Structure 1
């Protein structure tokens, strides 16, 4: 699986080789790499938080010489309107990063609404099964935690399929490992770390998933 960099609550360098690419984000990555084919010089990059969207936008800026506005759905509409126009006039590509595109993001300024409607939407979906496993391995490696395949497999079966759920689970496991002064993870250790906190789901005897 290809890699770029992933947003974590730690300083990271903007290095394309560390961003994890899978089916959930491959189309967006492809379109960013081929920004010259955009119908206009502005695109919207949307997706769940902690999915890598902001860091991918920074990679885009570094490699294209373009610009980005993070949390665009919370920015001044007048600022966005002028930034959109400036990108076209200067032929300098611009990425607007947001949780979701209009109409989920309510845009009141008619001229901005028209311009955003003409802009391509590049979206991240929830991580697929393969990406969840890769995220777990990557996050544990960054924290120098020894997570053997059986630990990854146990977590993979039980974690919610969101970037944020994976990140929070790894952070909780790291806290517990630090408290126990160990870097070697085991299934009993991660089960204990995550139990009772709503981090994982378990299969009951009836086959129904319930919070663990």
Structure 2
């Protein structure tokens, strides 16, 4: 019988390379992350929609490159010279657009890290030309950065992501559940995450297994 528990287990997100499913939708991005030593100018912008696997790939790269990961919004509070002493990943860069202090911090981090021979990975939802940065020198450097896109998932990738989300929550859906979800949900990682969370809550609350019938009920409720 699939998992029937009387208490809720926290989701444990697996972020290793072995946990990342490669499909035509993300193969180029994975190849670029794995070949990080060959990045033009030792920097790369990783682009893709929310939930597309950017953070997972950032953690894969950080493990391989022994890099630190920081959110762009935190840059004004961080010790930039110390950060620049190693490889660094900066997530969600567009959120600092228009924040002069944060943009100056990223500008100095960019210059210091690269001048010392380290690598810089940046993530965003949009291409660098659409980040809205206002500091001219930073804008020009960012727009000159090579970028790679994590594409909208195909069926195989969406199915793999759903299975990973279930696994992270220690859930065992019946074999027909995931194919059913792939056919019905929006081709969105955010929706996949919402559906798995809702199914976990519904199974726990009702004491039911996660199957196609429960999935249908949950989807009908989410789409109301």
Q: Shift in Å at residue 11 of structure 1?
A: 4.5
TM-score of the superposed pair, with normalisation by structure 2:
0.78
Q: How does 1:170-185 map to 2 (within 5 A)?
A: 170-182=196-208, 184-185=209-210
State the alpha-carbon separation in 2 of the partners of residues 38 and 151 from structure 1. 40
State the alpha-carbon separation in 2 of the partners of residues 80 and 191 from structure 1. 46
1:133 is aligned to 2:134: no
Give CA deviations for 1:129-174 in whole Å, capped at 9, x if unaligned: 1111111222223323332232222111101001101111111111
Specify every segment of 5 or more residues in structure 1 that has no aligned partner in the other structure, as ranges: 1-8, 199-211
Specify every segment of 5 or more residues in structure 2 that has no aligned partner in the other structure, as ranges: 1-9, 67-86, 97-101
Q: Shift in Å at residue 40 of structure 1?
A: 0.7
Greater fraction helix = 2
Q: Shift in Å at residue 126 of structure 1?
A: 1.1
Contact 1:140 1:146 in 2 (8 A): yes
1:168 is aligned to 2:169: no
Runs of 4+ in 1 over 6 A off after TM superposition: none
State the alpha-carbon separation in 1 of the partners of residues 186 and 108 from structure 2. 40
> Structure 1 residues 74, 43: closer, same or farther in 2, change over 3 A?
same
> Structure 1 residues 67, 10: closer, same or farther in 2, change over 3 A?
farther
1:101 is aligned to 2:127: yes
1:113 to 124, 134, 139: 139
Output the aligned Cα RMSD: 1.8
1:88 is aligned to 2:114: yes
State the alpha-carbon separation in 2 of the partners of residues 10 and 143 from structure 1. 4
State the alpha-carbon separation in 2 of the partners of residues 64 and 144 from structure 1. 30
